[in-house]
Structure 1
Amino acid sequence: MRLKSIFTNSFGILFSRITGLGRDVLMASALGASVWSDMFFVAFKLPNLFRRIFAEGAFTQAFMPSFVASRQKGVFATAIFLRFLLFLGAFSLLITLFPEPITKALAWGWEWEQIGLTAPLTAINFWYLDLIFIVTFLATLLQYKEHFATTAMSTALLNISMIVALWLYMKEDPKSVAYALSFAVVAGGVLQVAVHFIAIKQFNLQRLLIGGWKYRNKKNVEEEKAHFNKLFLPGIWGNSTPQISAFVDTILATFLMTGSVSYLFYANRVFQLPLAIIAIATATALFPTVSKAIKNGQETKAYANLDKAFWLLAFLLSFAMLGGILLAEPIVWLLFERGKFTELQTLETVSVLQMYMVGLLPFGLAKLFSLFLYATHKHLKAAKISLYSLITSVSGSLILMHPMGASGLALAGSIGGWVLFILTVKEVGVDRFYAILRSKKLLYLLLGSGLFTLLLLYLNIWLTGLIR
C-alpha cells in the first residue's frame, strides 16, 4: 500500500477542506441560513454535484481501466476529452439561455418568483461544470503517473476565490453577496484548470494529448472507445450514490421550512471532511495501483493492499464517526455560530450532522471495496448496487422528512450508505471480508472505540457547559 501517496493526497484534500470550512464560516456569517443562502446553494448544487461525481473518482474509475489497457493512449484520451467537452459546452450554453426550467427542477417546492431570482445564479454557476471536467480529465492523466498533490490541493483555489469574494462583499446586501460568490465559483474553476495545465507540462503529458489530437481519427481506437462507453455510465452511476442522494435531499428540503437547504449544506460540509481526507484520499491513491496489479494478474498484491487499507480506514473512520456524533454541537458552534447564524440554526444543523455521521463508516468502506469492482470492469454490477442504495435513501427521505425535517433526510442517506456497503462487500466476496476481520485488530478497534466514546462523552459535557 502506497502510504506516501495516501498521505500526500490526504494532506492536499485536508488543506482544501480547511479552506472550504473557512469559506463556509464566512458564508454563514454573511448570509446565515436565509432565503439568499438557500438560493445560492440551489444554484451551486448542480455544478457542485458534478464536481463531486467527476473529482471524487467516478469519472476516473470509469476512465482509468480503459486508459491503462489502451494501446493508443493519446488517441483514446483525446477522443474522450473532445466528446465530453463539446457535450458539456453545449449543455452549459443551453442552461445559460434557459435557466428557469433547470432551477425549478432543483427547487420544486419554491414559487416561480423565487425561481426567477435564483435562475441567473444558476446560469453563472453552471459554467463551473465545464471547467471541472477539464480539471478531472487532466487529473486522471496525472494519477496515471501517480501524481496526486496538484489535484488534491487545487480545490483550495475555488475556496480561496470565494473567500476573496466574501471578504470584498461581506458588508453588501445578500443579493450582491450571492452574485459575487457565483462569479467567484467560475474564477476558481479557471484557476484550477491553469494549475493542472502547468502540472501536465511538468510531466510532459502534453505530448500525449498533442499526439492524440493529431491522430484522433485513427480507426483502431474505436474498439477502445466502445469499451469505455460500455463502462462509463454504469461507472458514473455506481460512484455517485452519496452525491445523487444529497442532490435529491436538497430538492426535498425546498418543501421544508426556510433554512433547511442551508442546514443540509453546512452539515454535509463537515461530514465530507473526514470522508474526503480519509476514505476518498485512500481510494484515489490506491486505484491506479490496484488497476495495474489486476491487469497484470497480481491479485494477491491487490488484495494485500485491500487488507491494509481496510484497517487504516476502519480505525480512522470509526473514531471520526464517534467524534462527529458526540461532539456535533461544539463543532457546529465553533465553525458557524456567528454573525447571522443563530443558536437555533446551530441546533438544527447539529441534528442533521449527527444523522449524516451515522453513515460515515459504511460510505468510506464501500468506497474502498468498490475499487475492486471497477478494476475488474464490473461497472454494471456496481451501478445496480448503487441503484438499490439510492432507492433506499430516497424512500427513507420521503418517509422521514416530515416527522424529522432535514435531519430525517440525512438519516435516510446514512441508511442508504449501509445498504451500499453491505451489497458491495457481498459482491467483492463475503469470505474475503470475514478473512480480513479475523484479526486481533478487530479487538483493538472495539476496545479503542469504547474508550474513545467514554472520553468523548466527558468532553461533550464539558464543552457544552462551556459554550451554553
Structure 2
Amino acid sequence: MFLKSFFTNSIGILISRIFGFIRDLLTASILGANLYSDIFFVAFKLPNLFRRIFAEGAFAQSFIPNFTKSRIKSLFTYRIFIKFFLFLILLSLLVSVFNNFFTKVIAIGFDEKDIELASTFVAINFYYLPLIFCVSFFASLLQYKNHFATTAFSTALLNIALITALLLSRDLTKVEIVYAMSYAVLIGGILQVIAHLIALYKKGLLKIFYVGYRYTRSDKKDKQTETFFKAFYHAIVGNSTAQVSAFLDTWLASFLASGSISYLYYGNRVFQLPLALFAIALSVGIFPKIARMLKSDHHDKALRLMGQSFWFLTFILCLSMVVGLILSDEIVKLLFQRGSFNATNAYHTSRVLSMYLIGLLPFGLSKIFSLWLYSQNQQNIAAKISIYSLVTNVILSLALIAPLGVEGLALASSVSGFVLLFFTIKAFGFNLFLDIISFKKTILLFAVIAVEIVVLLKFKEIIDVYL
C-alpha cells in the first residue's frame, strides 16, 4: 500500500521543514540581513540549485526505470556512479581554482570587493554538490528496495548542522559565522552520506559497487547506461523549469515596489509546504512501484495504484487549498508578522499566497501523472511539457505584472500549472484518465469541501478576534 511510504516521506519532510524554519530564524537573528548573509546565500546558491534538481526527482526518475530494466544491475550502477562522481569532483575543483569567475556569474550585482570576499565561500560550499549527488544516488537504490525512511529523515541533518554552527559561532565576527555555516553545509552533507551508507549496508546493497567494478574489469557492456544519460538530460530540463520560473519571477519583481521579492519568497515558502508534504512525498513513494509494475507488464495494477494515488492526493490537496485560501491572512500573520514584518507586508504576502494556492492542485497532480512517463523512459515528452508550462508562465508574467503587480506573477505561475497538468494528462492518455475518474468520489469531494468551507468561515470569525 502506498500510504506507508507516503507517510514516511511526509513526516521526514515535515521534520526537515521545522528544522529549516528554526535555521531561518537563527540566521536572521545571529547573522542578520546584510552583506554577510547575502554572501552566504550566494555561496550556497549553485549547489542548492543542483540539490533541488537532483533531490526533487531528475536523477531518480531516470535511474530507477533504467536500473529496473538493466540486465547487469551492478555494472550499470557502478558505471553511472563513477562517471557522475568523478565529473562533479572535477567540477568542484574547477570552481575552487576559478572561484572569482563563478562568483561573478551567480552574483552579478556584487562589486569587486564583495566578489573577492564571497569567492572563498563559493568554493567551499560547492563541494556539497558531489556529496548530495551521493545521497541522491544511494537514495535511488534504497527507493528501489522500498526503503524511504533514511532519505526522508536524513534531510534534516543539513539544517541541524547549520543550526549547530550558528549557535556555536554566534559570538564570533560575521565573516567567521559565514565560515562556520559554510563548513556546516559540508558536515551536513557528509552526515547524510554516512546515514545512507549505513542503510545500504543493512540492505545488502554495498556489494553491488564491488561486483560492478569486477564487471568493469571484464569489459562487459550494458546498453542501459547510454539510455540512462539520454533520459537524464531530458529529466534535467523537466525539473529545471520550476527553478527558471522562480528566477524569472524574482527578476521581474525587482522592477516592482520594494518588498515585492520578499512577498514572493514568503508566499512561495508557505505554498511549497503542502506541495512537498503531500505531492512530492507521495510521488517519491509510489514511483519505484509504478516502474516495476510497468516493466513487468502489470499495467492494470499500475493504473489501480495511479487511481488510488490520484484520489488520495486530490482530496488532500483540495482541502489544503481551501484552508489556505480562506485563512491566508491568518496564516501569514501567525508565521511572519512580527518585528520589521508589518501588517502591510502581511497583507501583500497573503494575496501572493492566495494566487500561488490556485495552482496547488494542478502542480501536485502533475507530479503523479508524470511518473507514468518517467517509468517508460519518456523523459523527452515530460521535458517538452515542462517547456510549454514555462513559456506560458513567461508570457502571462509579462502580461499580468502591469495590472496585478506581484500578485500577477504568482497567478501566472498557477495558470502555468494547469497547462502542465493538461499536457501531462494528454501524454498519459485521456481515456486512461477517464477510467480513473469516479462520479461518486467527485460528489463526495464537493460535499466535503462544502462542509469544510462552512467550518473554516466560522473558525475564521473566531480567530480574527485574536489576530
Q: Output the TM-score relative to the length of structure 1.
A: 0.90
Deviation at 1:402, TM superposition (A): 5.9
Which residue in the other structure is 2:350 paired with? 350
What is the CA–CA distance in structure 1 between the aligned matches of 2:293 and 2:363, rounded to whole Å?
24
Using the TM superposition, name which of 205-214 and 121-130 deviates more: 121-130
1:308 pairs with 2:319: no
What is the CA–CA distance in structure 2 between the aligned matches of 1:367 and 1:301, rounded to whole Å?
19
Which residue in the other structure is 1:68 paired with? 68
What is the CA–CA distance in structure 1 between the aligned matches of 2:102 and 2:373, rounded to whole Å?
33
Deviation at 1:8, TM superposition (A): 1.8
Which residue in the other structure is 1:82 paired with? 82
Deviation at 1:152, TM superposition (A): 0.5
- Following superposition, which runs of at least 4 residues in structure 1 exceed 6 angstroms of deviation? none
CA contact (8 A) 1:271 1:353 kept: yes
What is the CA–CA distance in structure 2 between the aligned matches of 1:246 and 1:347, rounded to whole Å?
21
What is the CA–CA distance in structure 2 between the aligned matches of 1:173 and 1:447, rounded to whole Å?
58
Structure 2 letter corresponding to 1:370:
S
Alpha-carbon distance change, 455 to 177 in structure 1, aligned in 2, over 3 angstroms: farther
Q: Output the TM-score relative to the length of structure 2.
A: 0.90
Alpha-carbon distance change, 33 to 114 in structure 1, aligned in 2, over 3 angstroms: same
What is the CA–CA distance in structure 2 between the aligned matches of 1:116 and 1:260, rounded to whole Å?
29
What is the CA–CA distance in structure 1 between the aligned matches of 2:390 and 2:38, rounded to whole Å?
24
What is the CA–CA distance in structure 1 between the aligned matches of 2:183 and 2:71, rounded to whole Å?
41
Within 5 Å, which residues of 2 pair with 1:79-118?
Answer: 79-108=79-108, 115=115, 118=118
What is the CA–CA distance in structure 2 between the aligned matches of 1:29 and 1:405, rounded to whole Å?
30
What is the CA–CA distance in structure 1 between the aligned matches of 2:42 and 2:66, rounded to whole Å?
35
What is the CA–CA distance in structure 2 between the aligned matches of 1:329 and 1:28, rounded to whole Å?
23
Which residue in the other structure is 1:249 paired with? 249
What is the CA–CA distance in structure 1 between the aligned matches of 2:115 and 2:404, rounded to whole Å?
26
CA contact (8 A) 1:263 1:349 kept: yes
Number of equivalent positions? 467
1:229-273 Cα distance to aligned partner (Å, 9 max, x none): 221111222234323322443455555566555544433332222
Which residue in the other structure is 1:335 paired with? 335
Using the TM superposition, name which of 240-249 and 375-384 deviates more: 240-249
Which residue in the other structure is 2:155 paired with? 155
What is the CA–CA distance in structure 2 between the aligned matches of 1:33 and 1:402, rounded to whole Å?
29
Secondary structure in structure 2 of the residue aligned to 1:215: helix
CA contact (8 A) 2:6 2:282 kept: yes
CA contact (8 A) 2:8 2:148 kept: yes
Which residue in the other structure is 1:298 paired with? 298
Which residue in the other structure is 2:128 paired with? 128
Structure 1 letter corresponding to 2:134:
I
Deviation at 1:116, TM superposition (A): 5.0
1:343-380 Cα distance to aligned partner (Å, 9 max, x none): 55444433333332222111110000001001122111
What is the CA–CA distance in structure 2 between the aligned matches of 1:38 and 1:465, rounded to whole Å?
38
What is the CA–CA distance in structure 2 between the aligned matches of 1:408 and 1:199, rounded to whole Å?
46
Which residue in the other structure is 2:397 paired with? 397
Structure 2 letter corresponding to 1:311:
W
What is the CA–CA distance in structure 1 between the aligned matches of 2:132 and 2:192, rounded to whole Å?
8
Which residue in the other structure is 2:419 paired with? 419
Using the TM superposition, name which of 298-307 and 183-192 deviates more: 183-192
Structure 2 letter corresponding to 1:321:
M
Within 5 Å, which residues of 2 pair with 1:2-401?
Answer: 2-30=2-30, 37-108=37-108, 115=115, 118-170=118-170, 177-253=177-253, 260-338=260-338, 341-401=341-401
1:30-64 Cα distance to aligned partner (Å, 9 max, x none): 46666655554343332222212111222101111
Deviation at 1:5, TM superposition (A): 1.8
1:1-30 Cα distance to aligned partner (Å, 9 max, x none): 422222222222222222222223333444
Alpha-carbon distance change, 431 to 113 in structure 1, aligned in 2, over 3 angstroms: farther
Structure 2 letter corresponding to 1:446:
F
What is the CA–CA distance in structure 2 between the aligned matches of 1:17 and 1:269, rounded to whole Å?
10
What is the CA–CA distance in structure 2 between the aligned matches of 1:110 and 1:412, rounded to whole Å?
30
What is the CA–CA distance in structure 2 between the aligned matches of 1:342 and 1:30, rounded to whole Å?
21
What is the CA–CA distance in structure 1 between the aligned matches of 2:118 and 2:347, rounded to whole Å?
27
Using the TM superposition, name which of 255-264 and 20-29 deviates more: 255-264
Higher relative contact order (CA 8 A, sep 6+): 1
Deviation at 1:318, TM superposition (A): 1.1
Identity %: 49
Alpha-carbon distance change, 213 to 56 in structure 1, aligned in 2, over 3 angstroms: same
Which residue in the other structure is 2:445 paired with? 445
CA contact (8 A) 1:28 1:336 kept: no
Structure 1 letter corresponding to 2:362:
P
Alpha-carbon distance change, 329 to 172 in structure 1, aligned in 2, over 3 angstroms: farther
Structure 2 letter corresponding to 1:64:
I
Using the TM superposition, name which of 344-353 and 79-88 deviates more: 344-353
1:409 pairs with 2:406: no
Using the TM superposition, name which of 428-437 and 328-337 deviates more: 328-337
Secondary structure in structure 2 of the residue aligned to 1:466: coil
Using the TM superposition, name which of 51-60 and 240-249 deviates more: 240-249
The alignment's C-alpha RMSD in Å is: 2.7
Deviation at 1:179, TM superposition (A): 4.4
Unaligned 5+ runs, structure 1: none
What is the CA–CA distance in structure 1 between the aligned matches of 2:17 and 2:386, rounded to whole Å?
26
Alpha-carbon distance change, 396 to 96 in structure 1, aligned in 2, over 3 angstroms: farther
What is the CA–CA distance in structure 1 between the aligned matches of 2:39 and 2:352, rounded to whole Å?
20
Using the TM superposition, name which of 346-355 and 44-53 deviates more: 346-355
Secondary structure in structure 2 of the residue aligned to 1:147: coil
1:454 pairs with 2:451: no
CA contact (8 A) 2:75 2:222 kept: no
CA contact (8 A) 2:135 2:192 kept: yes
